[in-house]
Amino acid sequence: MFRDITLRDLMGLHAKEPHTMIDVRSPKEFAEASIPGALNIPLFNDEERAEVGTIYKQVGQAEAKKRGLAIFAEKLPAFIAEFEKIDTSMTVFCWRGGMRSKTAATVLDLMGIHAHRLTGGIRTYRQWVVEELNNIEYSPELIVLNGYTGSGKTVILHKLAEVSEPIIDLENLAGHRGSIFGQIGLNGSNQKNFESLLLHDLKRTNDEKVVFIEGESKRIGKVTMPGFLFEKKEHSRQLIIKLPIEERVRITLEDYKPAERPEEFKTAFEQIRRRIHVPIAKEIEVALDSGDFETATLLLLEHYYDPRYQHSTGKVDDDLKVTIAADTVDEAFVKVLAWKQEYMKTK
């Protein structure tokens, strides 16, 4: 017989041994929010869930259960086969810890596959995330990578991670690069997923002395940074990365790859066109239409992004700013790492 476990018990299991969490909700529900690291083995796909839900509303619970059972019966062998691939202990969950996770755990038990069921489902987990973010005391000092668009801040952040420096990659968690073109080619996150992933990283890094982070706005794409983290970032030491404009254009083109999605870039440009001086906006339009993305990027950096950056950094105290000037992003990374090593000698 399967056993219900609390969220605290689940976290304890996950911490001491390999443990697999399985979300049995539909793919759409899973994409909207789940527990980080969980697998999705759904009882119903999105269309089947909608069908059962319609029957429940229009006919009644009994008929909805019958239809749900008929749908599930047809896919039972494939459902079981997915669980047989898992070689760790496991816990299944749905939204409230109700019928879907109970059905999954019961069927698995009948087939000799032991699985726990999370009491309260993902709703309990979501409540925990909100409470933790409201009450967390995040102790590390933040070192904020800042600088004009295209200064390689994300590249440097990833290089720091590669040499085991603690980082929080807000753009990655948000699925957005933090600009009007920021979601092109990425899968933007929603607030629930962002907060779950962010909390995981905050807890992962909370024992560090310093943590590197990028100088993002409070809103990153569709998500909003928690107030406590934004305020901490705003009053933290800022490493201002300064690269030649040619290197910034190269980095921007390499990151955004506009030639692969030219129409999406033109659409995004139209959203900011009115904020750019008319003759310059016309030059950008012509460059985009002709596929001259290098010229378009140069003009956007000089006439749109750079003025906006100058305005935003004016709010940071000068004594918190450290300039890192370099000819290339690789050189900037080496200088950031050297600065950090010298800075830690003073701690």
Catalytic entry in 7, 22, 94, 133: 94
Tokens linked to 263: 């129409």
Q: What is the 3-state secondary structure (H, E, C) of the chain?
A: CCCEECHHHHHHHHHHCCEEEEECCCHHHHHHCCCCCCEECCCCCHHHHHHHHHHHHHCCHHHHHHHHHHHHHHHHHHHHHHHHCCCCEEEEECCCCCHHHHHHHHHHHHCCCCCEEECCHHHHHHHHHHHHHHHCCCCCEEEEEEECCCCCHHHHHHHHHHCCCCEECHHHHHCCCCCCCCCCCCCCCCHHHHHHHHHHHHHHHCCCCEEEEECCCCEECCEECCHHHHHHHHCCEEEEEECCHHHHHHHHHHHHCHHHCHHHHHHHHHHHHHHCCHHHHHHHHHHHHHCCHHHHHHHHHHHHHHHHHHHHHCCCCHHHEEEEECCCHHHHHHHHHHHHHHHHCCC
Residue 281 CB partners (closer than 8 Å, separation 6+): 273
Helical packing angle, 61-84 and 99-110, nearest 10° = 50
The single-letter code of the amino acid at 253 is: L
146 vs 316: CA distance, rounded Å: 11
Tokens linked to 177: 């690069």
Would residue 94 show up in a list of annotated catalytic residues for this protein? yes
* CB of 213 closer than 8 Å to CB of 144: yes
Backbone torsions φ then ψ of 281, nearest 5 degrees: -60, -40
Catalytically active residues are 94
